[in-house]
Structure 1
Protein backbone atom coordinates (compact mmCIF):
# COMPACT_ATOMS: atom_id res chain seq x y z
CA UNK A 1 0.00 0.00 0.00
CA UNK A 2 2.87 2.35 0.81
CA UNK A 3 4.29 1.94 -2.70
CA UNK A 4 0.89 2.55 -4.23
CA UNK A 5 0.38 5.72 -2.20
CA UNK A 6 3.87 6.88 -3.13
CA UNK A 7 3.13 6.45 -6.82
CA UNK A 8 -0.01 8.55 -6.43
CA UNK A 9 1.94 11.32 -4.69
CA UNK A 10 4.57 11.29 -7.42
CA UNK A 11 1.88 12.07 -9.96
CA UNK A 12 1.74 8.63 -11.57
CA UNK A 13 -1.93 7.71 -11.99
CA UNK A 14 -2.73 4.12 -11.14
CA UNK A 15 -6.46 4.59 -11.54
CA UNK A 16 -8.45 2.26 -13.73
CA UNK A 17 -12.07 2.71 -14.84
CA UNK A 18 -13.18 0.36 -12.08
CA UNK A 19 -11.60 2.68 -9.50
CA UNK A 20 -13.76 5.59 -10.66
CA UNK A 21 -16.74 3.23 -10.61
CA UNK A 22 -15.85 2.33 -7.02
CA UNK A 23 -15.88 6.04 -6.15
CA UNK A 24 -19.57 6.05 -7.05
CA UNK A 25 -20.36 3.40 -4.41
CA UNK A 26 -22.25 1.18 -6.87
CA UNK A 27 -23.94 -0.90 -4.16
CA UNK A 28 -25.44 2.20 -2.60
CA UNK A 29 -26.26 3.51 -6.07
CA UNK A 30 -28.23 0.36 -6.86
CA UNK A 31 -30.51 1.01 -3.89
CA UNK A 32 -30.86 4.66 -4.88
CA UNK A 33 -31.82 3.69 -8.44
CA UNK A 34 -34.36 1.12 -7.24
CA UNK A 35 -36.07 3.47 -4.80
CA UNK A 36 -36.03 6.40 -7.23
CA UNK A 37 -37.61 4.30 -9.99
CA UNK A 38 -40.20 3.06 -7.50
CA UNK A 39 -41.16 6.61 -6.56
CA UNK A 40 -41.27 7.60 -10.23
CA UNK A 41 -43.48 4.65 -11.23
CA UNK A 42 -45.84 5.01 -8.26
CA UNK A 43 -46.40 8.73 -8.81
CA UNK A 44 -49.70 9.72 -10.42
CA UNK A 45 -49.44 11.01 -13.94
CA UNK A 46 -47.65 9.96 -17.09
CA UNK A 47 -44.02 10.40 -18.07
CA UNK A 48 -42.21 9.85 -21.35
CA UNK A 49 -39.99 6.76 -21.27
CA UNK A 50 -36.90 8.61 -22.50
CA UNK A 51 -37.41 11.33 -19.91
CA UNK A 52 -37.75 8.69 -17.21
CA UNK A 53 -34.44 7.11 -18.25
CA UNK A 54 -32.66 10.48 -18.23
CA UNK A 55 -34.14 11.32 -14.83
CA UNK A 56 -33.08 8.02 -13.28
CA UNK A 57 -29.58 8.34 -14.72
CA UNK A 58 -29.34 11.86 -13.29
CA UNK A 59 -30.40 10.65 -9.84
CA UNK A 60 -27.91 7.78 -10.09
CA UNK A 61 -25.13 10.23 -11.01
CA UNK A 62 -26.10 12.42 -8.09
CA UNK A 63 -25.84 9.44 -5.76
CA UNK A 64 -22.46 8.60 -7.26
CA UNK A 65 -21.31 12.18 -6.78
CA UNK A 66 -22.23 11.95 -3.09
CA UNK A 67 -20.20 8.75 -2.81
CA UNK A 68 -17.15 10.31 -4.46
CA UNK A 69 -17.28 13.37 -2.20
CA UNK A 70 -17.67 11.10 0.82
CA UNK A 71 -14.61 9.06 -0.18
CA UNK A 72 -12.60 12.23 -0.78
CA UNK A 73 -13.34 13.64 2.66
CA UNK A 74 -13.16 10.34 4.55
CA UNK A 75 -9.91 9.08 3.00
CA UNK A 76 -8.06 9.44 6.31
CA UNK A 77 -10.44 7.29 8.33
CA UNK A 78 -11.10 4.90 5.43
CA UNK A 79 -7.39 4.07 5.49
CA UNK A 80 -7.69 2.97 9.13
CA UNK A 81 -10.75 0.75 8.82
CA UNK A 82 -10.32 -2.74 7.37
CA UNK A 83 -13.72 -2.51 5.69
CA UNK A 84 -12.74 0.56 3.67
CA UNK A 85 -8.93 0.52 3.42
CA UNK A 86 -9.06 -0.87 -0.12
CA UNK A 87 -11.09 2.03 -1.50
CA UNK A 88 -9.39 3.93 -4.36
CA UNK A 89 -8.40 7.07 -2.44
CA UNK A 90 -6.90 5.57 0.76
CA UNK A 91 -5.27 2.84 -1.35
CA UNK A 92 -3.54 5.57 -3.39
CA UNK A 93 -4.99 4.67 -6.78
CA UNK A 94 -6.87 7.99 -7.05
CA UNK A 95 -5.61 11.28 -5.65
CA UNK A 96 -7.94 13.07 -3.21
CA UNK A 97 -8.12 16.17 -5.43
CA UNK A 98 -9.17 13.98 -8.36
CA UNK A 99 -11.95 12.40 -6.31
CA UNK A 100 -13.09 15.87 -5.22
CA UNK A 101 -13.14 17.22 -8.78
CA UNK A 102 -14.93 14.09 -9.99
CA UNK A 103 -17.59 14.40 -7.29
CA UNK A 104 -18.16 18.11 -7.87
CA UNK A 105 -18.40 17.67 -11.64
CA UNK A 106 -20.93 14.87 -11.33
CA UNK A 107 -22.92 16.86 -8.78
CA UNK A 108 -23.30 19.83 -11.12
CA UNK A 109 -24.00 17.65 -14.15
CA UNK A 110 -26.64 15.52 -12.44
CA UNK A 111 -28.57 18.48 -11.04
CA UNK A 112 -28.42 20.47 -14.28
CA UNK A 113 -29.56 17.56 -16.45
CA UNK A 114 -32.43 16.67 -14.11
CA UNK A 115 -33.60 20.28 -13.99
CA UNK A 116 -33.53 20.68 -17.76
CA UNK A 117 -35.05 17.28 -18.51
CA UNK A 118 -37.73 17.11 -15.80
CA UNK A 119 -38.33 20.06 -13.49
CA UNK A 120 -36.32 22.27 -11.17
CA UNK A 121 -38.09 21.16 -8.01
CA UNK A 122 -36.79 17.60 -8.43
CA UNK A 123 -33.37 19.00 -9.35
CA UNK A 124 -33.33 21.16 -6.20
CA UNK A 125 -34.27 18.12 -4.13
CA UNK A 126 -31.41 16.17 -5.72
CA UNK A 127 -28.99 19.04 -5.02
CA UNK A 128 -30.13 19.16 -1.40
CA UNK A 129 -29.65 15.40 -1.09
CA UNK A 130 -26.07 15.61 -2.37
CA UNK A 131 -25.37 18.53 -0.02
CA UNK A 132 -26.94 16.74 2.93
CA UNK A 133 -24.90 13.58 2.44
CA UNK A 134 -21.58 15.20 1.54
CA UNK A 135 -21.64 18.21 3.87
CA UNK A 136 -24.19 17.71 6.67
CA UNK A 137 -23.56 13.99 7.20
CA UNK A 138 -19.99 13.34 6.02
CA UNK A 139 -18.36 16.57 7.13
CA UNK A 140 -20.63 17.50 10.03
CA UNK A 141 -22.33 14.57 11.72
CA UNK A 142 -20.27 11.45 11.07
CA UNK A 143 -17.33 12.38 13.30
CA UNK A 144 -19.18 14.46 15.89
CA UNK A 145 -22.26 12.61 17.17
CA UNK A 146 -23.48 9.04 17.76
CA UNK A 147 -26.74 10.16 16.11
CA UNK A 148 -24.85 10.49 12.80
CA UNK A 149 -26.71 7.57 11.25
CA UNK A 150 -30.14 8.71 12.46
CA UNK A 151 -29.92 12.23 11.05
CA UNK A 152 -27.69 11.36 8.12
CA UNK A 153 -30.05 8.59 7.08
CA UNK A 154 -32.29 11.23 5.54
CA UNK A 155 -29.86 11.52 2.62
CA UNK A 156 -30.47 7.94 1.57
CA UNK A 157 -34.22 8.30 2.01
CA UNK A 158 -34.78 11.14 -0.48
CA UNK A 159 -34.50 9.22 -3.82
CA UNK A 160 -38.13 7.97 -3.93
CA UNK A 161 -39.29 11.51 -3.22
CA UNK A 162 -37.09 12.77 -6.05
CA UNK A 163 -38.52 10.15 -8.40
CA UNK A 164 -42.03 11.17 -7.36
CA UNK A 165 -41.19 14.84 -7.91
CA UNK A 166 -39.90 14.10 -11.43
CA UNK A 167 -43.44 13.11 -12.42
CA UNK A 168 -45.54 15.44 -10.27
CA UNK A 169 -43.30 18.44 -9.64
CA UNK A 170 -43.87 18.05 -5.89
CA UNK A 171 -44.10 15.62 -2.99
CA UNK A 172 -47.01 13.94 -1.22
CA UNK A 173 -48.00 11.76 1.73
CA UNK A 174 -47.23 8.65 -0.31
CA UNK A 175 -43.71 9.80 -1.15
CA UNK A 176 -43.21 10.83 2.49
CA UNK A 177 -44.09 7.28 3.59
CA UNK A 178 -41.50 5.87 1.16
CA UNK A 179 -39.01 8.33 2.65
CA UNK A 180 -39.86 7.21 6.18
CA UNK A 181 -39.40 3.52 5.38
CA UNK A 182 -35.79 4.11 4.36
CA UNK A 183 -35.18 6.70 7.08
CA UNK A 184 -36.34 4.36 9.87
CA UNK A 185 -34.57 1.37 8.32
CA UNK A 186 -31.17 3.05 8.36
CA UNK A 187 -30.44 3.05 12.14
CA UNK A 188 -31.09 -0.67 12.82
CA UNK A 189 -29.27 -1.58 9.61
CA UNK A 190 -26.10 0.38 10.38
CA UNK A 191 -26.15 -0.12 14.15
CA UNK A 192 -26.27 -3.88 13.59
CA UNK A 193 -23.16 -3.48 11.44
CA UNK A 194 -21.49 -1.25 14.03
CA UNK A 195 -21.94 -3.89 16.73
CA UNK A 196 -19.57 -6.29 15.00
CA UNK A 197 -17.36 -3.53 13.58
CA UNK A 198 -16.85 -1.65 16.86
CA UNK A 199 -13.07 -1.98 16.81
CA UNK A 200 -12.89 -0.58 13.29
CA UNK A 201 -14.99 2.45 14.19
CA UNK A 202 -13.08 2.88 17.43
CA UNK A 203 -9.70 2.97 15.67
CA UNK A 204 -11.05 5.55 13.22
CA UNK A 205 -12.48 7.69 16.00
CA UNK A 206 -16.02 7.58 14.64
CA UNK A 207 -18.53 7.94 17.52
CA UNK A 208 -20.86 5.16 16.50
CA UNK A 209 -23.49 4.35 19.12
CA UNK A 210 -21.89 1.13 20.49
CA UNK A 211 -18.58 2.93 21.04
CA UNK A 212 -20.25 5.83 22.86
CA UNK A 213 -23.31 4.43 24.64
CA UNK A 214 -22.35 0.76 24.82
CA UNK A 215 -23.65 -2.42 23.27
CA UNK A 216 -26.74 -2.76 25.48
CA UNK A 217 -28.01 0.73 24.63
CA UNK A 218 -27.37 0.07 20.93
CA UNK A 219 -29.28 -3.20 20.98
CA UNK A 220 -32.21 -1.46 22.67
CA UNK A 221 -32.20 1.32 20.05
CA UNK A 222 -32.12 -1.29 17.27
CA UNK A 223 -35.21 -2.95 18.74
CA UNK A 224 -36.97 0.39 19.28
CA UNK A 225 -36.42 1.58 15.71
CA UNK A 226 -37.43 -1.85 14.37
CA UNK A 227 -40.72 -1.67 16.28
CA UNK A 228 -41.43 1.66 14.58
CA UNK A 229 -40.13 0.62 11.16
CA UNK A 230 -42.24 -2.49 10.66
CA UNK A 231 -45.68 -0.77 10.94
CA UNK A 232 -44.45 2.06 8.71
CA UNK A 233 -43.21 -0.58 6.26
CA UNK A 234 -46.78 -1.92 6.06
CA UNK A 235 -48.30 1.58 5.76
CA UNK A 236 -48.41 1.68 1.93
CA UNK A 237 -50.86 -1.24 2.01
CA UNK A 238 -52.79 0.09 5.01
CA UNK A 239 -53.18 3.49 3.34
CA UNK A 240 -54.31 1.95 0.06
CA UNK A 241 -51.46 2.80 -2.32
CA UNK A 242 -49.95 -0.69 -2.38
CA UNK A 243 -51.59 -3.99 -3.20
CA UNK A 244 -52.20 -7.24 -1.30
CA UNK A 245 -48.93 -8.82 -2.40
CA UNK A 246 -47.07 -5.98 -0.77
CA UNK A 247 -49.31 -6.19 2.28
CA UNK A 248 -48.56 -9.86 2.88
CA UNK A 249 -44.84 -9.44 2.14
CA UNK A 250 -44.42 -6.38 4.37
CA UNK A 251 -46.07 -8.16 7.29
CA UNK A 252 -44.12 -11.40 6.82
CA UNK A 253 -40.76 -9.74 6.23
CA UNK A 254 -41.44 -7.29 9.05
CA UNK A 255 -42.20 -10.09 11.48
CA UNK A 256 -38.88 -11.77 10.73
CA UNK A 257 -37.09 -8.39 10.97
CA UNK A 258 -38.57 -7.94 14.46
CA UNK A 259 -37.57 -11.48 15.45
CA UNK A 260 -33.96 -10.79 14.46
CA UNK A 261 -34.04 -7.40 16.21
CA UNK A 262 -35.30 -9.06 19.39
CA UNK A 263 -32.62 -11.76 19.10
CA UNK A 264 -30.04 -9.00 18.74
CA UNK A 265 -31.51 -7.22 21.78
CA UNK A 266 -31.08 -10.39 23.85
CA UNK A 267 -27.52 -10.90 22.64
CA UNK A 268 -25.01 -10.67 25.51
CA UNK A 269 -22.33 -7.99 25.65
CA UNK A 270 -19.00 -8.86 24.02
CA UNK A 271 -20.50 -11.82 22.17
CA UNK A 272 -17.52 -13.03 20.12
CA UNK A 273 -19.65 -14.21 17.19
CA UNK A 274 -22.52 -11.68 17.25
CA UNK A 275 -24.53 -13.91 14.94
CA UNK A 276 -27.92 -12.22 15.59
CA UNK A 277 -26.49 -8.80 14.68
CA UNK A 278 -24.84 -10.20 11.56
CA UNK A 279 -28.07 -11.92 10.54
CA UNK A 280 -30.05 -8.74 11.13
CA UNK A 281 -27.60 -6.69 9.07
CA UNK A 282 -27.78 -9.15 6.16
CA UNK A 283 -31.55 -9.55 6.29
CA UNK A 284 -32.15 -5.81 6.59
CA UNK A 285 -30.71 -5.37 3.08
CA UNK A 286 -33.05 -8.05 1.72
CA UNK A 287 -35.97 -6.51 3.61
CA UNK A 288 -35.62 -3.07 2.06
CA UNK A 289 -34.87 -4.33 -1.44
CA UNK A 290 -37.83 -6.74 -1.30
CA UNK A 291 -40.29 -4.04 -0.20
CA UNK A 292 -39.30 -1.67 -2.98
CA UNK A 293 -39.10 -4.39 -5.64
CA UNK A 294 -42.66 -5.43 -4.80
CA UNK A 295 -43.86 -1.81 -4.78
CA UNK A 296 -42.20 -1.30 -8.15
CA UNK A 297 -43.67 -4.50 -9.55
CA UNK A 298 -47.17 -3.53 -8.46
CA UNK A 299 -46.73 -0.05 -9.93
CA UNK A 300 -45.60 -1.47 -13.27
CA UNK A 301 -48.55 -3.85 -13.36
CA UNK A 302 -50.94 -1.01 -12.48
CA UNK A 303 -49.53 1.26 -15.19
CA UNK A 304 -49.90 -1.59 -17.67
CA UNK A 305 -53.60 -1.71 -16.82
CA UNK A 306 -53.46 -5.23 -15.43
CA UNK A 307 -54.87 -4.23 -12.05
Structure 2
Protein backbone atom coordinates (compact mmCIF):
# COMPACT_ATOMS: atom_id res chain seq x y z
CA UNK A 1 0.00 0.00 0.00
CA UNK A 2 2.73 2.48 0.92
CA UNK A 3 4.28 2.19 -2.55
CA UNK A 4 1.16 3.82 -3.99
CA UNK A 5 1.08 6.84 -1.73
CA UNK A 6 1.55 10.06 -3.66
CA UNK A 7 0.84 12.33 -0.73
CA UNK A 8 2.86 12.68 2.41
CA UNK A 9 2.63 14.95 5.44
CA UNK A 10 5.20 17.73 5.29
CA UNK A 11 6.36 20.40 7.69
CA UNK A 12 3.92 23.21 8.26
CA UNK A 13 4.81 26.46 6.57
CA UNK A 14 2.07 28.52 8.21
CA UNK A 15 -0.16 28.29 11.25
CA UNK A 16 -2.83 30.81 12.26
CA UNK A 17 -1.85 32.85 9.22
CA UNK A 18 1.73 33.19 10.46
CA UNK A 19 4.95 31.80 8.97
CA UNK A 20 6.50 28.98 10.96
CA UNK A 21 9.83 29.90 12.55
CA UNK A 22 12.14 27.18 13.84
CA UNK A 23 13.43 28.07 17.29
CA UNK A 24 17.01 26.86 17.24
CA UNK A 25 18.02 28.08 20.68
CA UNK A 26 21.52 29.52 21.03
CA UNK A 27 22.02 29.53 17.26
CA UNK A 28 19.49 32.36 17.06
CA UNK A 29 21.90 34.62 18.88
CA UNK A 30 22.11 35.75 22.52
CA UNK A 31 19.16 37.23 24.36
CA UNK A 32 15.83 38.37 22.92
CA UNK A 33 17.50 40.78 20.52
CA UNK A 34 17.41 41.25 16.75
CA UNK A 35 18.20 37.63 15.93
CA UNK A 36 14.72 36.61 17.06
CA UNK A 37 11.56 37.74 15.26
CA UNK A 38 8.88 39.63 17.18
CA UNK A 39 7.06 37.04 19.31
CA UNK A 40 3.63 37.57 17.74
CA UNK A 41 4.88 37.65 14.14
CA UNK A 42 5.56 33.93 13.71
CA UNK A 43 4.37 30.47 14.73
CA UNK A 44 7.20 29.14 16.88
CA UNK A 45 8.34 25.60 16.03
CA UNK A 46 10.10 23.64 18.76
CA UNK A 47 11.70 20.28 18.19
CA UNK A 48 14.34 18.04 19.69
CA UNK A 49 17.40 16.99 17.76
CA UNK A 50 20.35 14.69 18.40
CA UNK A 51 22.18 17.36 20.40
CA UNK A 52 19.31 19.05 22.24
CA UNK A 53 16.46 17.26 24.04
CA UNK A 54 13.02 18.78 23.86
CA UNK A 55 13.00 19.77 27.52
CA UNK A 56 16.13 21.89 27.03
CA UNK A 57 14.76 23.56 23.92
CA UNK A 58 11.49 24.36 25.68
CA UNK A 59 13.34 25.85 28.64
CA UNK A 60 15.44 28.00 26.30
CA UNK A 61 12.29 29.15 24.51
CA UNK A 62 10.69 30.24 27.79
CA UNK A 63 13.85 32.12 28.77
CA UNK A 64 14.56 33.90 25.51
CA UNK A 65 11.18 34.66 23.93
CA UNK A 66 8.55 37.02 25.33
CA UNK A 67 6.06 34.21 25.61
CA UNK A 68 3.29 36.48 26.87
CA UNK A 69 3.08 37.74 23.25
CA UNK A 70 3.26 34.36 21.48
CA UNK A 71 0.10 33.41 19.58
CA UNK A 72 1.05 30.18 17.74
CA UNK A 73 3.10 27.14 18.71
CA UNK A 74 4.19 24.16 16.62
CA UNK A 75 5.58 21.04 18.29
CA UNK A 76 7.84 18.95 16.07
CA UNK A 77 9.64 15.72 16.96
CA UNK A 78 10.03 15.48 20.73
CA UNK A 79 12.41 12.52 20.65
CA UNK A 80 16.12 12.39 19.89
CA UNK A 81 16.47 8.87 18.47
CA UNK A 82 13.13 7.14 18.98
CA UNK A 83 9.87 7.92 20.75
CA UNK A 84 9.67 5.91 23.92
CA UNK A 85 6.96 7.71 25.87
CA UNK A 86 4.74 9.47 23.32
CA UNK A 87 3.70 13.10 23.58
CA UNK A 88 2.55 12.88 27.20
CA UNK A 89 5.72 14.39 28.75
CA UNK A 90 5.58 17.24 26.21
CA UNK A 91 1.98 17.98 27.14
CA UNK A 92 3.11 18.03 30.78
CA UNK A 93 5.73 20.64 29.95
CA UNK A 94 3.68 23.00 27.83
CA UNK A 95 0.42 22.91 29.81
CA UNK A 96 2.30 23.53 33.06
CA UNK A 97 3.40 26.86 31.59
CA UNK A 98 0.04 27.85 30.11
CA UNK A 99 0.00 30.97 32.29
CA UNK A 100 3.14 32.17 30.49
CA UNK A 101 1.41 32.02 27.08
CA UNK A 102 -1.86 33.85 27.77
CA UNK A 103 -2.32 34.97 24.14
CA UNK A 104 -1.81 31.54 22.59
CA UNK A 105 -4.42 30.95 19.89
CA UNK A 106 -3.06 28.06 17.80
CA UNK A 107 -1.21 24.82 18.55
CA UNK A 108 -0.08 22.02 16.25
CA UNK A 109 1.15 18.77 17.78
CA UNK A 110 3.35 16.41 15.78
CA UNK A 111 4.81 18.45 12.92
CA UNK A 112 6.80 15.44 11.75
CA UNK A 113 7.79 14.25 8.29
CA UNK A 114 8.03 10.57 7.27
CA UNK A 115 11.84 10.65 7.49
CA UNK A 116 11.46 11.20 11.25
CA UNK A 117 8.45 8.94 11.81
CA UNK A 118 5.70 7.60 9.60
CA UNK A 119 2.35 9.14 10.41
CA UNK A 120 1.04 5.86 11.83
CA UNK A 121 3.97 5.70 14.28
CA UNK A 122 3.41 9.08 15.94
CA UNK A 123 2.25 8.55 19.52
CA UNK A 124 -0.20 11.16 20.63
CA UNK A 125 -2.06 11.48 23.94
CA UNK A 126 -4.90 13.35 25.60
CA UNK A 127 -5.03 16.46 23.43
CA UNK A 128 -7.96 17.75 25.45
CA UNK A 129 -5.34 18.85 27.95
CA UNK A 130 -4.34 21.59 25.52
CA UNK A 131 -7.93 22.78 25.17
CA UNK A 132 -8.42 22.82 28.91
CA UNK A 133 -5.14 24.67 29.47
CA UNK A 134 -5.99 27.36 26.92
CA UNK A 135 -9.72 28.15 26.98
CA UNK A 136 -9.06 30.93 24.44
CA UNK A 137 -7.46 28.65 21.84
CA UNK A 138 -8.78 29.08 18.28
CA UNK A 139 -6.96 26.31 16.40
CA UNK A 140 -5.70 22.84 17.27
CA UNK A 141 -3.90 20.56 14.83
CA UNK A 142 -2.70 17.01 15.45
CA UNK A 143 -0.64 14.65 13.29
CA UNK A 144 -0.74 10.99 14.23
CA UNK A 145 -3.39 9.03 16.09
CA UNK A 146 -1.74 6.23 18.07
CA UNK A 147 -2.90 6.60 21.70
CA UNK A 148 -4.90 9.69 20.77
CA UNK A 149 -7.49 10.60 23.40
CA UNK A 150 -10.32 13.09 23.05
CA UNK A 151 -12.59 13.20 26.07
CA UNK A 152 -16.00 14.89 25.86
CA UNK A 153 -15.67 18.57 26.77
CA UNK A 154 -17.03 22.00 25.99
CA UNK A 155 -14.73 24.64 24.55
CA UNK A 156 -16.18 28.05 23.84
CA UNK A 157 -13.54 29.40 21.44
CA UNK A 158 -12.16 26.55 19.30
CA UNK A 159 -12.72 27.44 15.66
CA UNK A 160 -10.53 24.95 13.84
CA UNK A 161 -9.67 21.30 14.52
CA UNK A 162 -7.50 19.22 12.20
CA UNK A 163 -6.41 15.63 12.84
CA UNK A 164 -4.13 14.01 10.28
CA UNK A 165 -3.74 10.24 10.49
CA UNK A 166 -3.26 7.07 8.54
CA UNK A 167 -5.76 5.41 10.84
CA UNK A 168 -7.97 7.26 13.32
CA UNK A 169 -9.40 4.87 15.93
CA UNK A 170 -13.11 5.09 16.73
CA UNK A 171 -12.63 6.07 20.40
CA UNK A 172 -11.37 9.64 19.78
CA UNK A 173 -13.98 10.11 17.05
CA UNK A 174 -16.70 9.08 19.49
CA UNK A 175 -15.20 11.37 22.12
CA UNK A 176 -15.23 14.24 19.64
CA UNK A 177 -18.85 13.48 18.76
CA UNK A 178 -19.72 13.98 22.44
CA UNK A 179 -17.98 17.38 22.62
CA UNK A 180 -19.69 20.75 22.54
CA UNK A 181 -17.80 23.18 20.27
CA UNK A 182 -20.15 26.08 19.55
CA UNK A 183 -17.55 28.28 17.81
CA UNK A 184 -16.22 25.55 15.48
CA UNK A 185 -15.91 26.67 11.86
CA UNK A 186 -13.41 24.24 10.35
CA UNK A 187 -13.20 20.50 11.03
CA UNK A 188 -10.87 18.19 9.14
CA UNK A 189 -10.28 14.53 9.98
CA UNK A 190 -8.11 12.03 8.11
CA UNK A 191 -9.88 8.83 9.10
CA UNK A 192 -7.42 6.48 7.43
CA UNK A 193 -7.51 2.75 6.95
CA UNK A 194 -8.20 -0.25 9.15
CA UNK A 195 -4.71 -1.48 8.28
CA UNK A 196 -3.42 1.23 10.63
CA UNK A 197 -6.19 1.39 13.23
CA UNK A 198 -8.77 3.41 11.30
CA UNK A 199 -11.74 1.31 12.35
CA UNK A 200 -14.41 4.02 12.40
CA UNK A 201 -17.83 2.96 11.16
CA UNK A 202 -20.57 4.80 9.33
CA UNK A 203 -22.40 5.05 12.66
CA UNK A 204 -19.41 6.90 14.15
CA UNK A 205 -19.46 9.31 11.23
CA UNK A 206 -23.20 9.92 11.59
CA UNK A 207 -22.76 10.69 15.30
CA UNK A 208 -20.01 13.16 14.45
CA UNK A 209 -22.19 14.85 11.85
CA UNK A 210 -24.97 15.12 14.42
CA UNK A 211 -22.56 16.81 16.85
CA UNK A 212 -21.91 19.48 14.24
CA UNK A 213 -25.56 20.51 14.47
CA UNK A 214 -24.47 22.07 17.77
CA UNK A 215 -21.79 24.09 15.95
CA UNK A 216 -23.87 26.63 14.02
CA UNK A 217 -20.81 28.42 12.57
CA UNK A 218 -19.32 25.36 10.85
CA UNK A 219 -18.33 26.34 7.31
CA UNK A 220 -15.80 23.68 6.25
CA UNK A 221 -15.95 19.93 6.76
CA UNK A 222 -13.26 17.51 5.70
CA UNK A 223 -13.75 13.76 6.20
CA UNK A 224 -10.79 12.53 4.20
CA UNK A 225 -8.41 9.67 3.54
CA UNK A 226 -10.84 6.90 4.51
CA UNK A 227 -11.36 3.37 3.28
CA UNK A 228 -15.08 3.77 4.06
CA UNK A 229 -15.35 6.87 1.87
CA UNK A 230 -18.52 5.59 0.16
CA UNK A 231 -20.28 5.20 3.51
CA UNK A 232 -19.05 8.65 4.52
CA UNK A 233 -20.44 10.12 1.30
CA UNK A 234 -23.81 8.53 2.00
CA UNK A 235 -23.84 9.89 5.56
CA UNK A 236 -22.86 13.36 4.39
CA UNK A 237 -25.54 13.32 1.69
CA UNK A 238 -28.19 13.05 4.40
CA UNK A 239 -26.65 15.25 7.11
CA UNK A 240 -28.45 18.55 7.83
CA UNK A 241 -25.15 20.28 8.67
CA UNK A 242 -24.11 20.18 5.01
CA UNK A 243 -26.71 22.76 4.04
CA UNK A 244 -24.76 25.43 5.92
CA UNK A 245 -21.28 24.56 4.63
CA UNK A 246 -19.18 26.65 2.28
CA UNK A 247 -16.79 23.81 1.46
CA UNK A 248 -16.70 20.03 1.72
CA UNK A 249 -13.66 17.79 1.37
CA UNK A 250 -14.07 14.03 0.82
CA UNK A 251 -10.72 13.56 -0.90
CA UNK A 252 -7.83 11.10 -0.45
CA UNK A 253 -10.07 8.10 0.20
CA UNK A 254 -11.61 5.17 -1.65
CA UNK A 255 -14.62 6.97 -3.11
CA UNK A 256 -16.20 4.88 -5.87
CA UNK A 257 -19.32 5.12 -8.04
CA UNK A 258 -21.44 4.17 -5.01
CA UNK A 259 -20.23 7.23 -3.13
CA UNK A 260 -20.59 9.47 -6.15
CA UNK A 261 -24.17 8.29 -6.69
CA UNK A 262 -24.98 8.87 -3.01
CA UNK A 263 -23.79 12.47 -3.26
CA UNK A 264 -25.81 13.12 -6.41
CA UNK A 265 -28.99 11.54 -5.05
CA UNK A 266 -28.81 13.19 -1.63
CA UNK A 267 -29.43 16.76 -0.57
CA UNK A 268 -28.40 19.59 -2.93
CA UNK A 269 -24.72 20.49 -2.96
CA UNK A 270 -24.89 23.35 -5.43
CA UNK A 271 -24.54 25.97 -2.67
CA UNK A 272 -20.96 24.85 -1.99
CA UNK A 273 -18.10 27.10 -2.97
CA UNK A 274 -15.70 24.12 -3.00
CA UNK A 275 -16.07 20.34 -3.16
CA UNK A 276 -12.95 18.18 -3.24
CA UNK A 277 -13.34 14.53 -4.29
CA UNK A 278 -9.72 14.17 -5.41
CA UNK A 279 -7.93 10.81 -5.27
CA UNK A 280 -11.19 9.05 -6.15
CA UNK A 281 -11.96 5.71 -7.81
CA UNK A 282 -15.10 6.69 -9.66
CA UNK A 283 -15.53 5.52 -13.24
CA UNK A 284 -15.21 7.96 -16.11
CA UNK A 285 -18.99 7.86 -16.51
CA UNK A 286 -19.70 8.74 -12.88
CA UNK A 287 -16.98 11.40 -12.89
CA UNK A 288 -18.65 12.96 -15.91
CA UNK A 289 -22.06 12.87 -14.17
CA UNK A 290 -20.63 14.63 -11.12
CA UNK A 291 -18.93 17.26 -13.27
CA UNK A 292 -22.04 17.88 -15.39
CA UNK A 293 -24.35 18.03 -12.37
CA UNK A 294 -22.21 20.15 -10.05
CA UNK A 295 -19.52 21.80 -12.15
CA UNK A 296 -21.65 24.74 -13.25
CA UNK A 297 -22.58 25.56 -9.65
CA UNK A 298 -19.43 24.86 -7.59
CA UNK A 299 -16.51 27.11 -8.55
CA UNK A 300 -13.87 24.82 -7.06
CA UNK A 301 -14.68 21.18 -7.89
CA UNK A 302 -11.82 18.73 -7.34
CA UNK A 303 -12.11 15.53 -9.37
CA UNK A 304 -8.52 14.34 -9.82
CA UNK A 305 -8.61 10.52 -9.93
CA UNK A 306 -6.31 8.24 -7.97
CA UNK A 307 -3.55 6.36 -9.73
CA UNK A 308 -4.73 2.85 -10.60
CA UNK A 309 -2.60 -0.24 -10.88
CA UNK A 310 -2.35 -1.65 -14.39
CA UNK A 311 -2.30 -5.16 -12.91
CA UNK A 312 -5.15 -4.62 -10.43
CA UNK A 313 -7.24 -1.66 -11.61
CA UNK A 314 -10.07 -2.62 -9.24
CA UNK A 315 -7.89 -2.09 -6.14
CA UNK A 316 -8.71 0.96 -4.03
CA UNK A 317 -6.48 2.52 -1.35
CA UNK A 318 -6.28 5.62 0.79
CA UNK A 319 -3.73 8.29 -0.05
CA UNK A 320 -1.96 8.07 3.34
CA UNK A 321 -1.81 4.91 5.42
CA UNK A 322 1.50 4.14 7.04
Q: Give the TM-score normalised by structure 1.
A: 0.29
Which structure exhibits the higher relative contact order, with contacts defined as CA atoms closer than 8 Å and separated by 6 or more residues?
1
Q: Which one has a larger percent helix, Structure 1 or Structure 2? A: 1
Q: Give the TM-score normalised by structure 2.
A: 0.28
